[in-house]
Amino acid sequence: AQSVTQLDSHVSVSEGTPVLLRCNYSSSYSPSLFWYVQHPNKGLQLLLKYTSAATLVKGINGFEAEFKKSETSFHLTKPSAHMSDAAEYFCVVSGSNAGGTSYGKLTFGQGTILTVHP
Amino acid sequence: KAGVTQTPRYLIKTRGQQVTLSCSPISGHRSVSWYQQTPGQGLQFLFEYFSETQRNKGNFPGRFSGRQFSNSRSEMNVSTLELGDSALYLCASSLAVWDRAHEQYFGPGTRLTVT
């Protein structure tokens, strides 16, 4: 079984300041981890993914995330927030397909709404 | 490449009716997954199809069903609609075939309102 906990439902930052969105995961298998972003009335866009290669993963729009197995965390960061970053962010886990229990199934966290103030 | 497309984008139905939603995956993607997004429950996995076969299913009642065609296009059907079925239904496609999961690419969704 796998699960994701996003530690903050809302995060508010000023434009130009760093962004930190926190995520802890639980997985029976070696997980694949993703961050997706959803702008209002839009579909989900993939920001970045971790699939057991480098633990520091770089994504689009200046975002990156670090996989820490000892802490079961996969926090999303960005050095400098932009107004266009305001959206809802989802941390997502997908387990191994071993045993066929995870085919095509992504497990989503509850989401973090990021607000960026001018 | 064209992205994932979903039709229709918006639907309004009455309780007790049934509805069919359609999804066209990215060219070359053979796996299609469906999700329901609501404010209360968040994003929940409905089912996944690969090569016209349902390989995985979430915890939804049998009123929710789907299928996949030989060209990888997929449909989902909800029968005997209930008010609680009002949601954004998202379709995602992936190259996922075996073992390690691949990332999924999402369509814009179909907004279903049940009155």
Q: What does the pLDDT read at residue A32?
A: 86
Does residue A113 belong to the interface with chain B, where contact is any CB pair within 8 Å?
no
Average predicted confidence (pLDDT) for chain B: 93
- Any bridge partners for residue B87, and if so which? B112
Other Cβ atoms closer than 10 A to A74: 28
Residues of chain A with Cβ-Cβ distance to B47 below 8 Å are 104
The per-residue pLDDT for range A33-92, each reduced to its tens digit, is 999 999 987 889 999 999 877 889 999 999 999 999 899 999 999 999 999 999 999 999
Cα torsion A95, A54, B30, B92 to 10°: value is 70
Token code pair at residue B79: 């029968």
Asked if the model's pLDDT at residue A100 lies above 60, the reply is no
Asked if the model's pLDDT at residue A102 lies above 80, the reply is no
Token code pair at residue B46: 């409905």
Residues of chain A with Cβ-Cβ distance to B104 below 8 Å are 46, 104, 106
Token code pair at residue B45: 């996995």
pLDDT band at B21 (very low <50, low <70, confident <90, very high): very high
Task: Assign A100 to helix, strand or coil.
Answer: helix
